[in-house]
Amino acid sequence: MRFGLFGTGPWAHLAHAPALAAHKDVELVGVWGRNPAKAAALAQEHGATAYADIDALIADVDAVAVALPPDIQADIALRAARAGKHLLLDKPVAFTTEATDAIVSAAAEHDVASVVFFTRRFMPAIQDFLDQVSATGGWLEARVDHLGSIFQDGNPFGESVWRKESGGLWDVGPHAVALVLPVLGPVTQVTALAGARDMTHVLLRHESGGITTLTLTVDAPEKLEREDASFHGESGIAVVPAVQWAPVDAFARAVDALITAAAGGPASPLDIRFGAQVGRILAAAAESIDTGRTITL
């Protein structure tokens, strides 16, 4: 599968580019970035060509991989889907449900396969755990605490403008929601509050009757940093296991899932439709913060 990579930031360097360049079933054709010099350097590092024009790169490939802010990603993804190119997108897909729904519609109309890269969901130990707890059933609640700080010296994501502006709800929130949906199911109501230092608290009522509690920030004090997730119910407490952070391996599995779907195999459970489901929940949380109301989906 011939891929074009859009984006030249830390995530493109840490996951996308090395995984695509090393994948036995992928040809990394080209790289486009908002900074032409960075695009040229990244392309040269991985044996690809730097492109100055978005649509020219889209035209030369079978699939696009995007490592860009959500609003910029949404425009490129829509253009690629309308051109019949398969999509490997980052989370969140977009900041608005309207933008995500437009990509969903274009992907369906043009028979485009899609995968959204929820990193931990492509780690086998995490997926095995979710399969087991889903089979067990009887869960009454989930709790996810994702408190990190990207603004420490040396953190490559600390200069990300969109993360500074949108905070933990939109940055780590997609990962948290993607963990609980396969176990507790669709969400019907969302309530959220935001406090100091980007501390965002979200309650989700699921169609199953279960409740999820999320605590999210990317600006936590150092002593509060933690990443914990668990399910609670009739069988007791099931704690999501800690796993080794291996983004290149996880991205390679996302590529595998896209190639399988594009070849006529089963669609990934983490496709653009799932990404849209997550996005609707995050948008509802943002609306709840702004209005002080519980939002019904």
Indicate where the chain has its CATH 3.30.360.10 domain(s): 121-243+279-296
Is 53 within 8 Å of 2 (Cβ atoms)?
A: no
Across the chain, what does the average pLDDT equal?
96
If pLDDT is split at 50, 70 and 90, which confidence band does 236 have? very high
Q: Cα 14 to chain center, whole Å?
A: 15
Residue 245 has pLDDT above 80, yes or no: yes
pTM of the model: 0.95
Output the pLDDT for position 282. 98
Work out the average pLDDT over 228-246.
95
What would the pLDDT profile of 5-24 be if each residue is shown by its tens digit? Answer: 999 999 999 999 999 999 99
Output the pLDDT for position 258. 98
What would the pLDDT profile of 267-281 be if each residue is shown by its tens digit? Answer: 999 999 999 999 999
Residue 199 has pLDDT above 80, yes or no: yes
Output the pLDDT for position 161. 81
**Of 132, 117, 138, 91, residue with least CA distance to 240:** 132
Handedness of CA 41, 86, 113, 100 (dihedral sign): positive
Is 123 within 8 Å of 243 (Cβ atoms)?
A: yes
Peptide bond into 92 cis (omega under 30): yes
- Phi, psi of 256, rounded to the nearest 5 degrees: -55, -45
- Quote the tokens at residue 79: 């253009």
Residue 122 has pLDDT above 80, yes or no: yes
Is 202 within 8 Å of 214 (Cβ atoms)?
A: yes
What would the pLDDT profile of 76-111 be if each residue is shown by its tens digit? Answer: 999 999 999 999 999 999 999 999 999 999 999 999
List the Cα angle 178/15/2 in 5-degree steps. Answer: 100
Percent of the chain with pLDDT over 90: 92
List the Cα angle 143/146/147 in 5-degree steps. Answer: 130
State how far the alpha carbon of 58 is from the alpha carbons of 29, 75, 294, in Å.
Answer: 10, 12, 41
Indicate where the chain has its CATH 3.40.50.720 domain(s): 2-119+247-268
Instruction: Say if residue 120 is exposed, middle or buried (CB neighbours under 10 Å; 0-12, 13-18, 19+).
Output: buried
CATH superfamily, with its number, for domain 121-243+279-296 = Dihydrodipicolinate Reductase; domain 2 (3.30.360.10)
CA dihedral 259, 262, 263, 266 (to 10 degrees): 90
- CATH topology classification for 2-119+247-268: Rossmann fold (3.40.50)
If pLDDT is split at 50, 70 and 90, which confidence band does 289 have? very high
Output the pLDDT for position 149. 86
State how far the alpha carbon of 108 is from the alpha carbons of 85, 89, 114, 173, 278, in Å.
Answer: 12, 16, 10, 26, 18
Question: Which residues, in sequence order, are bridge partners of residue 89?
Answer: 116
What would the pLDDT profile of 45-81 be if each residue is shown by its tens digit? Answer: 999 999 999 999 999 999 999 999 999 999 999 999 9
What would the pLDDT profile of 246-257 be if each residue is shown by its tens digit? Answer: 999 999 999 999
What would the pLDDT profile of 147-198 be if each residue is shown by its tens digit? Answer: 998 887 777 776 778 788 888 999 999 999 999 999 999 999 999 999 999 9
